[in-house]
Amino acid sequence: MNSYGPRAEEGFFLRPALSLAPDLLGRVLINTSTDGTVALRITEVEAYVGSADPGSHAFRGRTQRNQTMFRSGGHLYCYFIYGMHFSINIVADRAGCGTGVLIRSGEIVEGTDLAQQRRMARRTTPVPHRILASGPGNVAQALGADLSDDGAHLLSPGPWQLRTGGGQPDRHLVRNGPRVGVSGEGGDPDVFPWRFWLAGDPSVSQFRPGRNIRPASRWAIGPRPQ
C-alpha cells in the first residue's frame, strides 16, 4: 500500500466538489474484501454540485436514496442505476452540502485477476486490461461495490481507502468538458463542463451526450474550472 502514498485525510475531502474532482485524478481508490484487494488509479471523474446543479441527485433535496450525499466529505455514495449496475461517488465538502464526485473510470493497478473475475460475471470473453474499469458501472463491478458500501467512510478503519500517491499528474494532461449522458439543463456544456479526465489515458470512457440538452445559464454558479 505504501507505493500508493499516504492515506487521504479529512481536509482532502472537505472542499467544494469542483476543487476535489480534478484533484482525484491519479489518486488510488482501494477496496479490500474477503476475496482480496483491488486498487484503482482514478483517470476520469464528474463533479455534481447539489442544489446548484440540475444534473445532481441532490438537486431537489434530501431523499432516502441520496441521503449519503448530505454527509461530510469522504463518505462513499453508492447507488443502483438503470436497473443494471452500481456507481460510486466520493462525497465532497461539509455535511449538508449534498455535493460529490462520480468515479467514471480508472486503471486497475492491483488485483487485476480479481477485477477480471468480477467483470466476467456478465461476459463470456476476457476484458482488455485498459477497459476493466472504464465507465462508472465497470468501476463499481471491478472494485466489488454494491449498495452495502453506501455510506462507507474513507477516513475510518474499513475496507475502503483513498491513497494520494505522489501527487497530481502533469496539469497539462488534465482536461475538462461536459458530463457524460447528462440530459436537460444539467447537460449544458457551456455551463457544466464538470467532467475531468487524463488526456490520452486508455482507460477513459467515450463521451456520450445526454438527450434534450437545453441552455441552463441561470444555473451558473461561478467561473469555469481551469
Alpha carbon distance 86, 80 (integer Å): 4
* Mean pLDDT confidence for 172-199: 92
3-state secondary structure (DSSP) of residue 75: strand
For the cut 80, the answer to whether the pLDDT of residue 212 exceeds it is no
pTM above 0.85, yes or no: yes
3-state secondary structure (DSSP) of residue 4: helix
pLDDT at position 209: 73
As a whole number of angstroms, the longest Cα–Cα distance in the chain is: 48
φ and ψ at 45, to 5 degrees? -145, 165
What percentage of the chain exceeds 90 in pLDDT? 71
pLDDT at position 214: 52
Alpha carbon distance 99, 50 (integer Å): 5
Cell numbers describing residue 206: 467515450
Q: What is the mean pLDDT of the chain?
A: 89
* Mean pLDDT confidence for 24-53: 96
Angle at 60 between CA 72 and CA 204, to 5 degrees: 65
- The residues, ordered by sequence, that sit 6+ positions from 64 with a Cβ below 8 Å of its Cβ are none
Give which of 158, 126, 128 is closest to 30, Cα–Cα. Answer: 158
Identity of residue 23: D
pLDDT at position 216: 46
Residue 37 has a CB neighbour count (10 Å cut-off) of 15
- pLDDT band of residue 218 (cuts 50, 70, 90) is very low
